[in-house]
Structure 1
Amino acid sequence: MVLPDPNSLYGPLDPAPDAGYENAPPRMGFFTDTSVCIGCKACEVACKEWNGVPENGLDLLGMSYDNTGALTANSWRHVAFIEQSRPAGHGASPTDVLGPTRPADAGPTRPADADPIRPADPIRPVDAGAGPQFLGMPGAQPPGRGTGVEERTDFRWLMMSDVCKHCTHAACLDVCPTGSLFRTEFGTVVVQEDICNGCGYCISACPYGVIDQRKDDGRAWKCTLCYDRLGAGMTPACAQACPTESIQYGPLDELRERAAARVETLHNRGVPEARLYGHDPNDGVGGDGAFFLLLDEPEVYGLPPDPVVTTRDLPKMWKRAGLAALAMAAATVAAFVGGSS
């Protein structure tokens, strides 16, 4: 006997019509291409300014430029800085050959007579005597290293602007007892803070650890994908502010096609590490409304490798609980009848 796959209950769907919206517009979302993220944090600033998100203090977290650390109730966009080093001579860093992320028909992004993109020159020792030395910058010699060739390393930052994934099968919606979380006509997931009672169920239900509570009021907060801007036909603030178009907004089907073409381009340019994350509608959450192009394993970016909707077993659990309750009631009745006779 072949048992049904528990994931079969969570197959591909269009979440807005499933939520009851008739004649819903196309599902909208984010494609974040981390290969062209420069870590400027313009997305973080734009998100805070538009949505009135409180500041969360200045904490450089030791030696990192990542002053936010993670997605929180006061950081709906988080630009992560992942520092990597490897021995010199292992070829060009992927950031040297990535090129533009715009589709081919979007118009030129470099002058026609500009030099072609090429691998960066080998790292120069500090005492080379010519040109400025940008210590600590991607591709440069990290501080504290010696000047000998044998001690040099290639150094890169993997930068990623993280955000709520707006899951197709959102466990936070399943567990919210007040209806504070709801699915919009664009397929996104929004928290209504005036209805939230601070129970925290959505926080433990999120497979990505996105949702968080504010300490001063206990309510849950997260990215809304600028729901108010979407209704007015505007681009979300973070995507509008991104100077490299690392964050792209649009109909989700179009973004998936664009992302697949981008990965193929990077593979052809000698960046086999490029891969998509959260784009597959057949994964454990039914695909994400905000997905990413990564240059390393998801765990390197602090993402779960195989996210699964945490409420997938609820129907089975309720069924077992009902059967257990019936069995207990039957045993009670039998004991009562047997005792009275």
Structure 2
Amino acid sequence: MTTVSSASPAFSGNDPANRLYGPLPDVAGDAGYDGDHPARVGFFTDTSVCIGCKACEVACKEWNMLPMDDADGVRDRMGLTGMSYDNTGMLGANSWRHVAFVEQSRPVDLPMPGVGLPGAGGTPGAHGLADGSQTRQDSVLNAEALAEFDPQTGRSADREIRWLMSSDVCKHCTHAGCLDVCPTGALFRTEFGTVVVQGDICNGCGYCVPACPYGVIDQRKDDGRVFKCTLCYDRTLDGLMPACATACPTESIQFGNLDELQARADARLATLKEQGVQTARLYGRDEGDGVGGAGAFFLLLDEPEVYGLPPDPVVPTRDLPALWKSAGAAAAVMLGVIASAVLGSRRPR
């Protein structure tokens, strides 16, 4: 049987004819919008300044009128996960934002962020300068403490543990597996490049649930329909920021033009590296990854697995062209074998 090597262009994402994988310069244009559509927007979540306040979770639920997560089979009862301060556990049909709490034996100082007043003589923040010139991002992360951490002993001159906090959300992938497999059109690409679910069209088939490489999409128990973050499509249409970004007190969640956010993230990462935080990395920023880059990406302080994120997400539909070619070749071989057998059986003996 003819096979396609995993090193072939179709599998590696280097095939220019495969639009199911790899970089895509104009996501909205590829979806059929005309040339004057708005620029692609997204989220940049800087976890180094997340304080775990959950304002984003509350704002998301309030604006989108989401019910509480079911617990013990009772609707609208908030259960306890037993996992520290994390009472939602994961993203779901009723939780479009999830703040993860990760406790590690590493030193970090996480004071409440302070914002000093501009100009000489301004009031300093919690870790601000006297002139108030330090930003909220710079005031939270104690990079010096991280740089002095001794991995052999698990100790430092500061503290022995640290909290990693991150507000997770739908990634609004460049190549969205959920969008590719939806049979009803309930999932669609907006003119802003985001991916939205239309609840009134969803038939509850659930095909999109396993198609999401991040495990974001979830079905509601009562009717089976799926729901997820819409990146506040209604607010974006009116020129407003999403509710979660508006409520975030430390600017950990940043919303805007995706190109500008990527440039801002690159600069932030370079700053942390200069300060000695060598474990810092960007997640979902690479347009050459398995989903063509994410519309909602993150700055992490550790490996993605620590935050419950897959290390190498790949959209399931990436290899469809190669699989169809392989299946076609196999079918041709089988037809040839059958034809040979039939013709051979008719020969006179």
Name the TM tier (shorter chain).
0.7 to 0.9
Aligned residues: 300
Alignment-derived partner of residue 55 in structure 2 = 42
Paired position in structure 1 for 2:72? none
Question: Is 1:233 aligned to residue 239 of structure 2?
Answer: yes
Matched, 1:114 2:124: yes
1:124 alignment partner in structure 2:
none
The answer on whether the counterparts of 1:29 and 1:250 sit within 8 Å (CA) in structure 2 is yes
CA distance in 1, matches of 2:125, 2:237: 43
- Once residues 99 and 305 of structure 1 are traced to their aligned partners in structure 2, the CA distance between those partners, rounded to angstroms, is 30
Q: Does 1:269 align with 2:275?
A: yes
- Could you say which residue in structure 2 is the equivalent of 1:67? 87
Q: % of aligned pairs identical? A: 66
Residue matched to 2:302: 296
CA distance in 2, matches of 1:197, 1:42: 32
Alpha-carbon shift at residue 294 of structure 1 (Å): 0.8
Counterpart secondary structure, 1:59: coil
Q: Tell me the alpha carbon deviations over residues 203-259 of structure 1, each in whole angstroms, 9 at most, x when there is no partner.
A: 111111101111111111111101111111111111111111111100000001111
Any idea what SS the aligned residue of 1:71 has? coil
Output the CA distance in 2 between the equivalents of 1:36 and 1:55. 27
Rounded to whole Å, the distance in 1 between the matches of 2:306 and 2:321 is: 34
Partners of 1:25 and 1:109 in 2: CA distance: 37
Residue range with higher mean Cα deviation, 3-12 or 280-289? 3-12
**Contact 1:35 / 1:95 at 8 angstroms: preserved in 2?**
no
Does structure 2 retain, via aligned residues, the 8 Å contact 1:275–1:294? yes
The one of 89, 92, 99 equivalent to 1:79 is 99
Q: Distance in 1 between matches of 2:189 and 2:249?
A: 30
Indicate whether 1:30 and 2:50 are aligned.
no
Residues 110 and 28 of structure 1, relative CA distance in 2, 3 Å threshold: farther
User: What is the SS of the residue equivalent to 1:229?
Assistant: helix
Q: Deviation at 1:322?
A: 2.4
CA gap of 1:172–1:63, structure 2 versus 1, over 3 A, is closer
Contact (CA 8 Å) 2:56, 2:97: kept in 1 or not? yes
- 1:332 Cα shift? 4.0
CA distance in 1, matches of 2:275, 2:64: 39
Report how far residue 60 of structure 1 moved: 2.9
Structure 2 CA distance for partners of 1:110 and 1:258, relative to 1, 3 Å: farther
Structure-2 separation of matches of 1:109 and 1:51: 40
**Deviation at residue 331 of structure 1 after TM alignment:** 4.0
Which stretch shows the higher mean deviation, 313-322 or 233-242? 313-322
CA-CA distance at 1:270 after TM superposition: 3.1
Deviation track 1:269-304 (CA, whole Å, cap 9, x = no partner) reads 332222211111121211100001111111100111
Contact 2:113 2:126 survives alignment (8 Å) = no
TM-score by length of 2: 0.78
Q: In 1, Cα distance between the equivalents of 2:161 and 2:80? A: 20
Q: Distance in 2 between matches of 1:306 and 1:72?
A: 21
Superposition deviation, residue 59 in structure 1: 2.6
Conserved? CA contact 1:6–1:312, under 8 Å:
no
Distance in 2 separating the partners of 1:24 and 1:111:
46
- Unpaired segments of 5 or more residues in structure 1? 87-91, 119-138, 140-148
Shift of 1:334: 4.4
State the Cα distance separating 1:192 from its structure 2 match: 1.4
Give the gaps of 5 or more residues in structure 2.
Answer: 70-76, 129-144, 146-154
Q: Secondary structure at the match of 1:177?
A: coil
1:15 to 16, 27, 38: 27
Q: Which moved more, 1:244-253 or 1:316-325?
A: 316-325
- Opposite residue 227 of structure 1, the aligned amino acid is Y
- Pairing of 1:141-220 with structure 2 (within 5 A): 154-220=160-226
Alignment partner of 1:248 out of 241, 251, 254: 254
Q: What is the CA-CA distance between 1:29 and the residue it aligns to? A: 0.1
1:124-168 alpha-carbon deviations (Å, 9 max, x no partner): xxxxxxxxxxxxxxx9xxxxxxxxx99x96222111000000001
CA distance in 2, matches of 1:216, 1:195: 16
Contact preservation (8 Å) 1:6, 1:313? no
Find the residue that maps to 1:313 and give its secondary structure. Answer: helix
